[in-house]
């Protein structure tokens, strides 16, 4: 990926003067890729991942995911549990890179979780492969202790057979994996997880200590922010969530939680609340501003293309940058931006654009000082065909988020244009 060498070069482009879990799925590739072409960046065996984690502590999940794929290519995969960690697949899709996903089917999942896997496959155009526990080991456990021995002597033995050992086999074919762990999930075991770490519990393809890296892109994201993003992006969810389940595992060991209860209280509720791990994560147990170079208010006021009288321009605020055609073209070309941008493509005569004017200006005011630039581009008239071909315009308004480290903008998919919904979309990507 080509990167701009300096903020002045980026500014020139914008100014127009430059040129241009209970169950986890293996081996998924994005629908437009036949395969992942090897490792993209060779990995330094002695890399200081503690230093890397500190440097990315404030990075967005999208940026962390992109970094992980960049470093490990085909040697990394996402662990998908069939719960709200479906957000990882959405982020992976948004990076534009090919990626893999894996999942463990323990044999004790809810029917709703299996149905959810099918929904996810169809939504993302993928085919999930599963890893299963060893049938001989499961048979021996059940014949010796019965189907529900974990209620009497703890869940560790059952989880070791149905989850930990299958996971160990899957990870032996990788050099890194991506999990949906968050600090707020389990106060006793996950409160200090970093965004990236050496996995001390499992080994990777090269074998030995330090041969596997674990990425936790959601480590610093709050559960509520995850759910805001799921709703904002219209991402499918497990139907068990609507029945009161938050953390979802195997059917006998998962139950709904009451209002105000912590999400992990629905898992292994008969055991110590500070040790609720199944063994998969036992290692836890401890620029110069470019807007100065963009012509402000460059679009002026244009006549509605159907010949009606000119409409007053919208989104007039000092908190917003108004893009000309050259400016928006060059913003789209940039591979590396000093700041992420939120841009609305609008037409002054559009009633839906008029209706969201207040919320968009309020959003711009809230984002000031948060490192996200806010702008507008009038995309009707002579610019409409260009916007349809290059900026994903289908109807007005269209809202795009341009990440710092990706050329491809992310389109806001929802018709909810209130401040909270838009802020959830931005917070999930910035």
Please state, as a whole number, how many other Cβ atoms lie within 10 Å of the Cβ of residue 248. 26
Which of 159, 250, 253, 353 is flagged as catalytic?
A: 353
Three-state secondary structure call for residue 421: helix
11/7 Cα distance (integer angstroms): 6
140/128 Cα distance (integer angstroms): 28
Burial 8-21 (b: 16+ CB within 10 A, else e): eebbbbbbbebeeb
Encoding tokens for residue 415? 């018709």
Encoding tokens for residue 141? 């456990």
250 is catalytic: no
Q: Which residues share a beta bridge with 197?
A: 214
Distance between the two ends of the chain, CA-based, in angstroms?
19
Please state, as a whole number, how many other Cβ atoms lie within 10 Å of the Cβ of residue 5. 9
353 is catalytic: yes
H-state helical runs in 217-350: 223-232, 325-333
Name, in order, each residue with C-beta under 8 angstroms of 190's C-beta and a sequence gap of 6 or more: 181, 182, 183, 184, 281, 284
**Strands (E) located in 255-304:** none
Encoding tokens for residue 16? 């127009």
Please state, as a whole number, how many other Cβ atoms lie within 10 Å of the Cβ of residue 37. 10
The 8-class DSSP code of residue 426 comes to: H
212/76 Cα distance (integer angstroms): 10
Helices 61-72/419-429 angle, 10° precision: 30
**Strands (E) located in 189-261:** 196-198, 213-215
276/261 Cα distance (integer angstroms): 15
- Please provide the DSSP assignment of 130-187 as one string: EE---HHHHHHHHHHH-TTTHHHH-SHHHHIIIIIHHHHHHHTT-SEEE----TTT-T
239/298 Cα distance (integer angstroms): 48
> Using an 8 Å Cβ cutoff, are 399 and 342 in contact?
yes
The 8-class DSSP code of residue 312 comes to: P
Point out the residues that are catalytic.
350, 353
């Amino acid at each position: 990926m080509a990167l701009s060498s300096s903020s002045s070069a980026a500014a020139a482009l914008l100014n127009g003067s430059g040129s241009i879990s209970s169950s986890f799925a293996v081996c998924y590739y994005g629908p437009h890729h036949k395969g992942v072409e090897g490792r993209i960046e060779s990995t330094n065996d002695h890399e200081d991942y503690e230093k890397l984690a500190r440097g990315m502590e404030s990075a967005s999940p999208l940026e962390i995911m992109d970094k992980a794929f960049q470093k490990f290519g085909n040697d990394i995969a996402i662990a998908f549990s069939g719960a709200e960690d479906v957000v990882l697949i959405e982020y992976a899709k948004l990076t534009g890179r090919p990626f893999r996903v894996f999942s463990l089917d323990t044999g004790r999942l809810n029917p709703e979780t299996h149905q959810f896997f099918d929904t996810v496959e169809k939504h993302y155009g993928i085919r999930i492969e599963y890893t299963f526990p060893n049938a001989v080991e499961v048979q021996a456990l059940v014949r010796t202790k019965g189907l529900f021995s974990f209620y009497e002597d703890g869940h560790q033995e059952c989880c070791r057979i149905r989850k930990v050992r299958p996971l160990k086999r899957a990870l032996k074919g990788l050099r890194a994996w991506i999990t949906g762990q968050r600090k707020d999930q389990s106060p006793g075991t996950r409160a200090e997880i970093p965004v990236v770490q050496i996995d001390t519990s499992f080994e990777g393809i090269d074998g030995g200590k330090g041969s596997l890296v674990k990425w936790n892109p959601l480590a610093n994201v709050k559960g509520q922010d995850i759910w805001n993003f799921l709703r904002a992006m219209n991402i499918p969810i497990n139907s068990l969530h609507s029945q009161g389940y938050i953390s979802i595992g195997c059917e006998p060991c998962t139950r709904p939680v009451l209002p105000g209860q912590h999400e992990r209280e629905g898992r292994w509720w008969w055991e110590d609340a500070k040790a609720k791990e199944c063994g998969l994560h036992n290692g836890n147990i401890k620029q110069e501003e470019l807007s100065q170079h963009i012509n402000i208010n460059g679009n002026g006021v244009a006549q509605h293309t159907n010949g009606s009288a000119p409409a007053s321009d919208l989104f007039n605020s000092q908190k917003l940058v108004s893009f000309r055609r050259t400016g928006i073209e060059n913003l789209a070309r940039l591979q590396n931006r000093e700041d992420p941008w939120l841009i609305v493509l609008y037409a002054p005569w559009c009633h839906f654009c008029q209706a969201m004017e207040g919320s968009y200006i309020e959003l711009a005011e809230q984002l000031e000082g948060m490192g996200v630039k806010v702008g507008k581009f009038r995309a009707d008239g002579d610019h409409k065909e260009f916007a349809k071909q290059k900026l994903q315009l289908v109807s007005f308004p269209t809202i795009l988020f341009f990440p710092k480290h990706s050329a491809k903008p992310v389109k806001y998919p929802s018709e909810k244009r209130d401040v909270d919904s838009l802020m959830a979309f931005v917070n999930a990507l910035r």
